[in-house]
A and B are shown apart, each in its own frame.
Chain A
Amino acid sequence: MPYKTMQIKLLNPSKSKRDLLEDAIDRYSTAFEILLREIKSILPAVLPPKTELLKLMDKNFFKCVSNLGVEPFKDALKIDLARLLAVYFSKKSSYPVTRTFDEDIMALLDGEEKISKPKLDAAFEKYQKKRPLLFCRFDEKRDYSIFQSEKGTYFAKLYLFNRKNAQNSKRYAVFPLDAAEWQQKFLNDMKSGICTPKSAELIQKKDEFYLNIRFWYPALPKHHFSAYIGIVRGINSDLYYAVSLKSGEIISTGSINVNNIYGLNKFHSLSNEIIRLAKENKAYIIMENLSTSNDNLKMKGLKVPLSVGDYNKIAFLVSYKAELAGLEIAFVSANSIFYRCTRCGNFKRANRFLKDKFICTMCGHSDNLEEIGSSNLAKTLITYKNNKIPVYYKAEENSIVFRLDILDYEVVCAKSLSAANEFCERLKNHIALNINNFSKHQQFTAKKLLGENAFSKINFIEIK
């Protein structure tokens, strides 16, 4: 389920409003730490299921923070605690501390033991530390909500007080929001029901307050795709793409660039462009898996604009944008893509002695390296996914030569309409006679071809 988070600033709150917000965050943070310490004694040795954990936090449990007026945050505190504990149990590190108080510092300083510097530093670092104030649901009657005035201004309605501390008998306060173009888009989506607001966090940066709101966008039904688009790191451009039909024919290639934009915005622009190209070509997106393997693009004396880290960031953005757009995406090993000849399949380091160009040492085929890499990438899934076996063929003057690499089988058939049928018949014969001599890998392929409809299991790819 794809979530998107939007940050929006509370528009110039007055001094008194700022005090209210700061106080709420402070109460929340203090209550959180106290509860965190409180629950430690009743925690089982292993992480209980979430429902059990939430049951532990009953009415009695909250007594210790009754003086903080955190009734409006009760559910949020429970969820927030459960989340932190889940992390603690999964990491098995020391018990977490989110905030330290005067007493903690004093206890440290007055203690019998000698205090270590890191311990003191840690205690000071957490001193009066503010935790983001969680609102666990969007609701007009509690937690938080957003509404628009008749003039079009957006407001946040935040429930910050209990009955006792209610301001003008209201348990909530209202804050105008600073909705720029980017935020407007989310808010419009929300208004028109495209997305649903979920939880939100109130945070303070210096004197400014922000709401981080999580929106849930339902995934669209997947589009039918008719092509593959491979996206590789570029050399003369940020990224390079190739679009391949399901038959393996490359129908377009090009560079993807954004100028004068940097950092995350650049990655967003690049990923948006990838999504646009994929939509335009009704293509299944194939990206390099650079987290576990290497594309070996870098070479001494050759500058590559995007680092592996940059590419991975873009890949992450593309993967969730693809999901939102109903596009399919796969990450595949990019190990050989810049070294394998797109014409004859020859895979050698030597094919790339010109650094940014490719020249096959077997057949002489040459091209820009980006073309080679992206074309190879775009075609990787054809053999995996289709489960179809690629057979290359080349028409010559009076004959058609078929080649099935996996079985190392090559045959010349008369150039006629039934050439492919003839090939299939001869292939079956060949397999029947040789099946016992095949390697395991070959047998796997061979068996697939032995059945009734061998023809339908073959992907015929023409070589020109």
Chain B
Amino acid sequence: MNLYIETSWGSVNKYGEELCGDKVEILKKGEDTFIVLADGLGSGVKANILASLTSKIAITMLSEGAGVQDVIETMASTLPVCKERQIAYSTFSFIHIKHNGETHLVEFDNPDTVILRDGKALFLPREEYVVSGKKIRETHITLKPNDFCITFSDGVVHAGVGKLLNLGWEHKNVVEYIEKSYRKESTAFYVQNLLLQACKSLYMDAPGDDTTVAVCKIRTPDIAYVMVGPPLSAEDDEKIVNALINFNGTKIVCGGTTSQIVSRISKRELQIMLNYISPDVPPIGRIEGIDLVTEGVITLGKCYDILKRYESGSIGRDNMLNSKKDGASQLAQMLINKCTGAKFVVGRAINPAHQNPDLPISLNLKLRLVSDIAECLKRLGKTVEIEFY
């Protein structure tokens, strides 16, 4: 079975620097996922250039099957040399995950990548060798669903130096923090963002170094088929509903008229659930075999709010995402925690309920919301597809 590799990365710049000296490149090629995290020597423009070149060279060459030795040699001949110190390099971590979880990890001078399985960091023996005078560490491991692969620049390890912690919090504490804050349902984004927030806080919001985290979560693929709104042409109704019913994944219907169409065509009763009444979000419905049935535009708008807040990493969002049971929260939970991707099937018929001039909700708004949600999910490492009817 092909696994889905959910990825997310983030950086905070060294205090006062406009450019980040760390760079992450993520490449999905065929069924393989390649990730490079490069940390350029120093900070600012120079480090940024070093890291960008390094990550670009590494990801391009390695994804094309070049050996580590070739990559290092190419870097040595390509990277500009620092006049004062006669050295020019950028440390890097390179991760190649195949569709079956087989993973190849190469590290040059970066903090050890952490593999988290069931909330515990695995000990990975690494093979060490020298290429062009550079000590390379390499390992192979097969990752399983729900494993996390967490790699970071040394700005993470040094977080808090001279501020909250005299010596920074050191690799072993970073690992312990990752373990302590482990939640099975965490997304790659959540883990990445939390670790970055912790570093920022340890640096007392003035990082002494560029700080970058990249996280992969290995997941069993689960795509959400999200049917939004009735198709423009009623002839398409049956086709779309059948595709929904037969879809292999999570099935979601958004919209009052839409859910009636699904109910009619599938000959399954539509029930309105009144247990979770909220003044903000209309009630949800239930159709046998469908995972979630919600109202349309208002729910999507609210769902987008939740996604935005989740993405902005603002506090209390865990409460907001996981503890509520209204339609918008359930939709957001499914899209973020449960699914690895989404396929939005958007009907463009105008909802008569929204023709009321007091409710200035246009079709445009619905389309806008779907595309906003899609963009947000993409940034959160999900695969997204939109179809219009």
> Which residues of chain A have a CB within 8 Å of any CB of chain B?
343-345, 350-351, 353-354, 357, 359-368, 392, 394, 396, 399, 401, 403, 405, 408, 410-412, 426, 429-430, 433-434, 437, 463
Contact = CB atoms under 8 A, between A and B. Distances in A.
B320 A353 contact: no
A27 B193 CA distance: 81
A433 B280 CA distance: 11
Give chain B's interface secondary structure class.
helix
B164 to A, nearest CB: 6
- When A and B form their complex, which 9 residue pairs have the shortest distance between CB atoms, in order from nearest? A364-B197, A364-B198, A361-B181, A350-B180, A366-B201, A429-B279, A344-B315, A363-B315, A430-B279
Contact of A366 (B180, B196, B202): B202
B12 to A, nearest CB: 11
Nearest to B305: A412
B201 A426 contact: no
Given A359-B201, A364-B198, A408 B324 contact: yes
Given A359-B201, A364-B195, A408 B177 contact: no
A368 B204 CA distance: 11
Contacts of B173: 353-354
A350 B278 CA distance: 34
Contact of B164 (A353, A357, A403, A430): A357
Contacts of A353: 173, 176-177, 180
Contacts of B201: 359, 364-367
A392 B316 contact: yes
Interface string B55-81: 000000000000000000000000000
B165 A357 contact: yes
A401 B316 CA distance: 11
30 contacts: A353-B173, A353-B176, A353-B177, A354-B173, A357-B165, A359-B198, A361-B181, A364-B194, A364-B195, A364-B196, A364-B197, A364-B199, A364-B200, A365-B198, A365-B201, A365-B315, A366-B202, A367-B164, A394-B314, A396-B312, A396-B314, A401-B314, A403-B320, A405-B319, A408-B319, A410-B320, A430-B278, A434-B278, A437-B277, A463-B316
A401 to B, nearest CB: 7
Interface string B150-189: 0000000000100011000100010011001100000000
Given A411-B280, A430-B278, A430-B279, A362 B312 contact: no
Contacts of A357: 164-165
Residue with the highest number of chain A CB atoms closer than 10 Å, among B173, B195, B277, B319: B319
Contacts of A410: 316, 319-320, 324
Contacts of B194: 361-364
B15 to A, nearest CB: 16
Nearest to A411: B280
B2 interface: no
B348 interface: no
A411 B324 CA distance: 12
A175 B226 CA distance: 98
Residue with the highest number of chain A CB atoms closer than 10 Å, among B194, B279, B305, B314: B279
Contacts of B180: 350-351, 353, 361
Residue with the highest number of chain A CB atoms closer than 10 Å, among B196, B202, B275, B318: B202
A368 B165 CA distance: 9
Given A363-B194, A368-B164, A343 B315 contact: yes
B164 A434 contact: no
B37 to A, nearest CB: 19
B271 interface: no
Nearest to A463: B315
Interface of B: 160, 164-165, 169, 173, 176-177, 180-181, 194-202, 275, 277-280, 305, 309, 312, 314-316, 318-320, 323-324
Contact of B181 (A362, A430, A437, A463): A362
B162 to A, nearest CB: 14
Nearest to B194: A364
B165 A426 contact: no
Contacts of A394: 314-315
A405 B319 CA distance: 9
Residue with the highest number of chain A CB atoms closer than 10 Å, among B181, B194, B202: B181
A14 B152 CA distance: 83
Contacts of B199: 364
B159 to A, nearest CB: 9
Residue with the highest number of chain A CB atoms closer than 10 Å, among B173, B180, B196, B275: B180
B319 to A, nearest CB: 7
Given A426-B280, A433-B279, 15 more contacts: A344-B315, A354-B173, A361-B194, A362-B318, A364-B200, A366-B160, A366-B201, A366-B202, A367-B201, A368-B164, A394-B315, A396-B312, A401-B314, A403-B319, A410-B320
Contact of B279 (A343, A401, A408, A426): A426
Given A366-B202, A433-B279, A434-B277, A408 B197 contact: no
Nearest to B195: A364
A359 B201 CA distance: 9
Contacts of A368: 164
A403 B317 CA distance: 10
Nearest to A408: B323
A354 B309 CA distance: 29
Nearest to B202: A366
A363 B164 contact: no
B322 to A, nearest CB: 11
A130 to B, nearest CB: 58
Contacts of A403: 316, 319-320
A353 B181 CA distance: 11
B171 to A, nearest CB: 14
Contacts of B275: 437
B13 to A, nearest CB: 17
A2 B309 CA distance: 55
A354 B196 contact: no
Contacts of A359: 177, 198, 201-202
A459 to B, nearest CB: 17
A361 B315 contact: no
Nearest to A343: B315
Contact of B198 (A345, A350, A366, A434): A366
Nearest to A362: B318
Nearest to A365: B201
Contacts of B324: 408, 410
Contacts of A367: 164, 201
Contacts of B181: 350, 361-362
A161 to B, nearest CB: 71
Contact of A363 (B169, B177, B197, B277): B197
Contacts of A364: 194-201
B277 A433 contact: yes
A401 B362 CA distance: 25
A12 to B, nearest CB: 56
Contacts of A433: 277-279
A367 B163 CA distance: 10
A159 to B, nearest CB: 66
Contacts of B164: 357, 366-368
A399 B319 CA distance: 19
B183 to A, nearest CB: 9
Nearest to B278: A430
Residue with the highest number of chain B CB atoms closer than 10 Å, among A361, A362, A364, A437: A364
Nearest to B279: A429
A364 B201 CA distance: 7
Nearest to A392: B316
Given A361-B180, A364-B194, A366-B160, A354 B315 contact: no
B323 A354 contact: no
A366 B275 CA distance: 39
A50 B181 CA distance: 64
